[in-house]
Each structure stands twice: as C-alpha cells, then as structure tokens.
Amino acid sequence: MRKKLQLVATLCLLAFSFNGFSQTGRYLTEVFTSVTVTSNVVYGNNISVITTPPAPSDLKMDVYEPTGDILTARPLVIVLHTGSFLPAVANGQPTGSKTDSAVVEMCNRFAKRGYVAVSADYRLGWNPISTDVDVRTGTLLNAVYRAIQDAKNCVRYFKADKATVNTYKIDTTKIAVGGLGSGGYIALAYASLNQVSEIQLGKFLNNSVTPPVPYIDQSLSGNFDGTNTTGLNIANLPSHTSTINMAFNVGGAIGDTSWINAGEVPIVGLHCYKDANAPFKTGAVIVPTTGAFVVEASGSYDVIRVVNKTAINNNAILNSSLYTDVYTTRANAINDGLEGLFPFVTPVPVTATCTGTDGATEQGSPWDWWSEGTFIAQYNGYSGTTNGSIVNCKQKLSNPDMSAAKGRLYMDTIQGYLNPRMVCALGLAGCVPDPTGVNENVNASDITIFPNPSSTEINFSVKGSTTIKSVELYDVTGRMVKQIVGLSTQKYTIQREGLSTGLYITKIQLNKGSISKKIILE
C-alpha cells in the first residue's frame, strides 16, 4: 500500500509539473508544446464608421491559451494588428486583421511561454485619399482614438470575466498591451493619452474653422476609455477599469512625446530605424500610396528616450534589471544607451520596380509574411480587376525577401528582447535585479567608461580629486575574470585579451567609494 501511495504521489507530482505550474523558465522560454485557440470571441460592440451610415458592430478577438495549463491566475498579453486602419485587402495590403501571420505567430509564442495571449480586431476607417489635409489628419486621429477605446474595452472584458465566471483564469494585475505597425500606434497611445490637454495641442487642432477645434470631439466620440455613450461610442463594461501594467510597440509611433508623463507604464519599443511609414525618431507620417502628409509623430527612439528621462523614469524597473541575452547585447550596441529600445538595421534596398515608375523602399515590417497567391486572388476579387499581382509586387518592394522563415527569425528577436523585460514589468518570476550601482559616496558623473560596447578595450577616466584604486571584472555568473589592484591613477585601460563576447560587470574602487557598471564586449 505504501509503495502504491508513493507511486500515485510521484505521478501526481509529474502531472503537476508538466501541466504548467512549476516549469523552470516559464514566461522566458517556451515550456508548453501546444496552444488552444478560441476564435471570434465577442468582447464588445461599438459604432463602426466603415458602414454608411455608421452602425454598431461586434468587436472580436482570438484567445490563445497554453494547452493543459493548470494555473488559475495567468498574465495577459493583448496584441494589436497592423493594417493602416483599413481592412486587409481593401487597404491594398495583405495585412490588417487579427489573423495576420506575424500576430498569430506572436500569440502562439506568448501562449507557449505561459501567457494568455489575445489577438484583437478593432474598429477601422479613415480617409487617406482625401486631398484635404484636415480630412486626412482628422480621420486618422479619430481612427486611432476609436482603436484605443476598443483596446481598453478588451482589457475590461477580461476584468469583468475575472470578476464573474473566470473563464480565462487571468491575473488582472499583470496585463501588457502591444501592437505591430498600426497596432503600435494604439499601444503607445493607450499607455499615454489620458488628458484633454493632450488632444488640444496645436497639431491636433483643425485650423480650417474659426475658432480652431480639436480633431477629436469627445462629446461625439466618447471619453478616453470609451465608458460613456455618445453619438459614435457605446459604453462597454464601464464599471471596470482599463488599467494595464506595460505597453510595447513593434513599429508605429506616438502622436506626441509630451503625452508621456511620470507614473505611466513601462514601454518597450522595437523599430526599423529607416522605417519609411512610421518615423524612428520624430517626423512626418505619410500616406504610403500617395506620399501625402498626415501628421507629425514620434517613433520608438524618441518614445524610449523620453520614457527613460530622469524626471519621468517610467522604465525604472527595466533599467534596474539585468539582461544577459544576445538580443540585449545587440540592442545595446546600437540604441545609444536607451534601455527598452531595439533598433532593427535592415539591408539597403535593392533595385526593383513593379510598374517602372516605382522602386524599392526601406523595410518597415520585415516580420510580416503572407501567401502571395491568396492575396492576389483576394485583391482581384475585391477590386474586380486583375491588378493583384502588381499590388502584391508593390508590397514586396519594402519586404523583397518576404517569407515565413524570415518573419520567424525576426520574431525570435522580438520575443527574445521583449520577454525578459515583460517578466520584469509584470513582476513575474525570472526577473534578475541589476547588481550594478553606486555607493553613497560616489557620483556617477565622477567616472567615464568608454567605449561601451567595445570590441577591444575599455577605458576608465575620473576627474577632480578622484582616483582609481582597483578594477575588477565579473562575468554574468559572478566569476571574477580580471582584477587589477594597487592603482592610484585617474585613467586606466583594460585590454580584452581573449574575453568572450557578452555582458560583464566592472567594479571600480575609487579613493572615496566604489561604483559598478555594465560593460558589453562585442
């Protein structure tokens, strides 16, 4: 009997482990082998402007869960698709829905790591072909505004579910919202657009009328959360909050960096630094097909720069955590020291044309892929023409070697850089505190360390009456790999001398204290 009980206990323990409670590396690595998808779940209903006249339509999402998971309080990640705020195919693009290949891939990967992941559709519609800039700007800003309301509605849906039937077993204190391309615009605005003054900035005013008025009329479109009923908004689940804990964008931009204020959520941005459709820093958003100006916006570089400012410091948890992965090493080599920013450096466009009057452009979303034959057939059917092959060709001008294999490689980087930071931002197991710091007698400005990253040597320089007494170098396991003692100098250089590529911690003992810093060897 005792042996039988021991066997039963052992089997129960194994089942407990394999069903998702005690896996080592959950959230940082894929610990589940399969994912259960529930498609077309209605999370709300609101006024769509795609129809004439505007009319209510259901808002739908696909929910991805790790198969066999027994946790009853799981973090939630909502992923918003791209598509230029117009329906797929009708927008002249193969992307623009919750079933885009890149979005499906992201959600599957999140779910295999132990998250509940959601791909949500949102309301679409604006007028990019108008010759009136006020129409272009106003209709796009309102499209983003409606999408923010829908994303917040989606969050409230899960909070309402948690408070009642608890279908999806969500920990509603651990929610991240992110997006690709157009979805990145929504995620960044979700995290920061929350004050009336922010939609009254000069560039958001329609100056063609006297006096100028905001393009976004909240008396018509509803409040920021969409929790009041107006002419173009239906209140959905207004008794629940829309609070989230993190935002991330893969491409996209923010309306204005002044929207970012202290106390808002951490943000991680990944962006092609030569993206022609969404500025990496601050610049014009244009209509891709016509080149017409729409509005000035700020991309990932300027977003993360502002988020990391001392006066704002919303990424404090990310800056106080340690990351030792190869994706962080690569990002730190090219992101100007902006924690939370991964710039993609894409190949120089090759000479290519589809009609003889167009040409290749910089890559802005190399993670996207699609079935060319399906898209061509869909476009021909939608347009009643045989132009599908030309439209498909134009899409590939900014993604010439488009393929599932290429898209998944980019997804490796997106997930590899994003997940360790998401673990920290959401307070999940696996976040490693950064051991670097300064003791109370030393100012960080007392010492300069350069170049960092470096491929050959690291230089240390101090100023004033400060002197360097010793230098120690540790690898990420905590093992000391170099030690230089007996110094009394204001400048010192450590040669690489065979040290492996990666992250190191250097501890510098000064005559009035000590300081520790991260060093990256390329």
For 439-471, how does the pLDDT look when each residue is reduced to its tens digit (9 = 90+)? 545 666 678 888 888 889 999 999 888 899 999
Give the 3-state secondary structure of 374-422.
HHHHHHHHHHCCCCHHHHHHHHHCCCCCCCHHHHHHHHHHHHHHHHHHH
For β-strands 205-206 and 213-214, DSSP reports them as: antiparallel
Instruction: Assign 4 a pLDDT band (cuts: 50, 70, 90).
Output: very low
Instruction: Assign 518 a pLDDT band (cuts: 50, 70, 90).
Output: confident
Q: In the predicted model, is pLDDT for residue 18 greater than 60?
A: no
Query: How far is residue 375 CA from its own chain's centroid?
Result: 27
Of 136 and 517, the one with more pLDDT: 136
Average pLDDT rounded to a whole number, residues 178-204:
98
Write down the mean pLDDT value for the chain.
Answer: 91
What pLDDT digit, counting tens, does each position of 94-118 carry?
Answer: 999 999 999 999 999 999 999 999 9
Query: Please, are residues 74 and 115 in contact by the beta-carbon 8 Å criterion?
Result: yes
Of 170 and 502, the one with more pLDDT: 170
Average pLDDT rounded to a whole number, residues 481-492:
92
Average pLDDT rounded to a whole number, residues 23-47:
94
Residues paired with 460 in a beta bridge: 449, 492
- pLDDT of amino acid 442: 63
Q: Is 33 exposed, middle or buried (0-12, 13-18, 19+ CB in 10 A)?
A: exposed
- pLDDT of amino acid 290: 86
Average pLDDT rounded to a whole number, residues 66-84:
97
Q: In the predicted model, is pLDDT for residue 88 greater than 80?
A: yes
- pLDDT of amino acid 432: 84
CA torsion angle 62 67 71 73 (round to 10): -10
Instruction: Assign 57 a pLDDT band (cuts: 50, 70, 90).
Output: very high
Query: Please, are residues 98 and 40 in contact by the beta-carbon 8 Å criterion?
Result: no
- pLDDT of amino acid 123: 98
Q: In the predicted model, is pLDDT for residue 124 greater than 90?
A: yes
Query: Please, are residues 279 and 270 in contact by the beta-carbon 8 Å criterion?
Result: no
What is the 8-class DSSP label of residue 233?
B
What pLDDT digit, counting tens, does each position of 228-263 carry?
Answer: 999 999 999 999 999 999 999 999 999 999 999 999
Write out the two tokens for 181: 């391309």
- Which of 256-265, 355-364, 506-515 reaches the highest mean pLDDT? 256-265
CA separation (Å) from 415 to 121, 143, 369, 464?
A: 22, 28, 17, 44
- pLDDT of amino acid 324: 85
% of the chain surpassing 70 pLDDT: 93
Average pLDDT rounded to a whole number, residues 265-292:
94
Query: Please, are residues 488 and 467 in contact by the beta-carbon 8 Å criterion?
Result: yes
- pLDDT of amino acid 512: 78
Cα gap 193→307, rounded to integer Å = 14
- pLDDT of amino acid 438: 54
Instruction: Assign 185 a pLDDT band (cuts: 50, 70, 90).
Output: very high
**CATH-assigned architecture of domain 437-521:** Sandwich (2.60)
- Least confident piece of the model among 23-32, 245-254, 403-412: 23-32
Of 352 and 3, the one with more pLDDT: 352
Q: In the predicted model, is pLDDT for residue 332 greater than 80?
A: yes
Q: In the predicted model, is pLDDT for residue 377 greater than 60?
A: yes
Q: In the predicted model, is pLDDT for residue 1 greater than 60?
A: no
- Least confident piece of the model among 210-224, 308-322, 328-342, 445-459: 445-459
Q: Domain coordinates of the chain in residue numbers?
A: 26-425, 437-521
- pLDDT of amino acid 90: 95
- pLDDT of amino acid 441: 59
